[in-house]
Amino acid sequence: MNQTIYYIIRFLLGVDRAGAYSSLIGYTSDVRLFHKYKVVIVPSGFFQSSVYGTPESLPQLPLKEIEGVPLLFGTPKEECFEETWVIYADIIASSYFLLSRYEEIQKRDIRDKHGRFPGKESLPYKAGFIHRPIVEEYGKLLRHWLRKACVHIPEPQPELQDIWLTHDVDAPFFCRSLRNICRETWKGAGLLKALKLYGGPLEKDPYYTFPWILEQDGKVQNKYGDRCHQLYFLKAGGRHANDKPHYQVRSNDIQKLLQLFRQNQVMLGLHSSYEASLCPDLIPEEKMKLEHDWKLENIHQNRHHYLASREPEDQTKLIKAGITDDFTMGYADVSGFRLGTCRPVKWINPMTRQLTSLTLHPLSVMDCTLSESQYMGLPLNEAFRYCLQLLKQTKQYGGEIVWLWHNTSFAETEKNSYHKTLYVRLLNALIQ
């Protein structure tokens, strides 16, 4: 547990030489130890064995605030004890609660139809700070308190770390198989249009928007260079109905898509299946299948299909499969900062309280979250303003952008008509 506390303090500091500065910060209620530190944060009792894992460990609404920042644990009190600045706002436990998804192990009975913990049931949403990376705000407070104690610590530069333009390839093609022809014949545009799409050039398929996506993302990469990453997540299994359609890996169309990815040197990751969210033991098998079928080496990035990372402890299966980076951590029903941070963070297992090797990349925006009526249902201009607000805060705190747009969202259909416009506007905001 001490390793976890030490990591959280360094993460909050968020500056070079964070390890050296962290030695000046104590997390203790023992007055006899206060003199060893410049700043002491007094524990709220959250980690006590009689409290942790019980209903009493959950924050109570309305939350208290300290200097305008919502406080999950402790009280907004600070005082000087001899030469030590003593803080009773437990920003360590507050950060841990968010970064570890602790809330989800205490509310296992709250899940949507896909087994996901809904964002609108979360504390960040109910307390009104889902759009704020308050872990970074805690870090700013901590640096402020160090300065009060005469420690000269700099502020991080307001600059984006990395930009992850990610795309889940759920359905690469609209009508390029016999099954698609049957679907369109009975429920869609009719047999003649289906045959025309099936037999025509791949570039005419409505879902084959990849050349356009690569062109748009390339403009951002030209601006930011190695800090901008184009990352596509590919399926490699799943027998659940929600895992359809399955790729025909040996087909000319898929091979052409793979060639396009290789030519543009994009990164490829595992889109672990819906079935694997029900049975996480399938993840290593799917990873090996993806590497074999697509002739890829050392896939180490993952995103769960449907964002269905069901239980926090399931992350251990990713680690055992050799996954080092996960990009699932966003809510499907509301955009914002699910983990309370806009920076990549090591996963803390809330069952064991241990720090792990898995890096979580906070997903702040997904296309359908913005537009679909069962989620946020925002019109174009409101969606743009909301995303721009998240972008500005991410830059302010030196975080990373992680956005998800599906290739199907750029299809020329009435339902998805605004996503091309929205995506271009957002990319232009990044570039400018």
pLDDT band of 205, cuts 50, 70, 90: confident
pLDDT of residue 397: 96
Write the CB contacts of 370 (distance below 8 Å, at least 6 apart in sequence).
Answer: 335, 376, 378, 383, 386, 387, 422
Average pLDDT over residues 184-199: 61
pLDDT interval class at 289 (50, 70, 90):
very high
Mean pLDDT (the chain) is: 93
* Coil, helix or strand at residue 369: helix
Full-model pTM: 0.95
Burial class of 81 by CB neighbour count within 10 A (0 to 12, 13 to 18, 19+): exposed
Biggest alpha carbon distance in the chain?
84
Question: Six-digit token pair at 107?
Answer: 């509310």
Q: What is the pLDDT of residue 412?
A: 81
In this prediction, residue 59 carries a pLDDT of 98
pLDDT at 196: 59
Please check whether residue 421 is in contact with residue 387, taking contact to mean a CB–CB distance below 8 angstroms: no
Report the share of the chain in percent with pLDDT over 90: 86
Tokens coding 117: 């913990």
pLDDT at 176: 61
Q: What is the pLDDT of residues 234-274, one digit of tens each?
A: 999 999 999 999 998 989 999 999 999 999 999 999 999 99
Q: Express each pLDDT in 328-359 by its tens digit.
A: 999 999 999 999 999 999 999 999 999 999 99
Q: What is the pLDDT of residue 190?
A: 63
pLDDT beyond 60 at 175: no
Amino acid letter, residue 166:
T
Structure tokens belonging to residue 248: 């025909």
Spatial distance between the Cα atoms of 216 and 409, rounded to a whole number of angstroms: 14
> Is 170's pLDDT higher than 80?
yes
pLDDT at 248: 87
Contact (CB, 8 A) for 349 and 360: no
Give the pLDDT confidence score for residue 198 in this predicted structure. Answer: 56
Q: Which residues of 290-325 are buried (b: 16+ CB within 10 A; e: fewer)?
A: bbebbebeebbbbbbbbbbbbbbebbbbbbebbbeb
Q: Report d(CA 81, CA 366) in Å as an integer.
A: 47
Structure tokens at 372: 């679909």
Crossing angle between the packed helical segments 210-224 and 417-431, to the nearest 10 degrees = 10
Split at pLDDT 50, 70, 90, the class of 191 is low
Q: How confident is the model at residue 184 (pLDDT cuts 50, 70, 90)?
A: low
Count other C-beta atoms under 10 Å from residue 255's C-beta.
Answer: 13
Give the number of other CB atoms < 10 A from CB of residue 199.
Answer: 11
Q: What is the pLDDT of residue 314?
A: 94
Q: Is the peptide bond before 55 cis (omega within 30 degrees of 0)?
A: no
What is the pLDDT at residue 350?
97
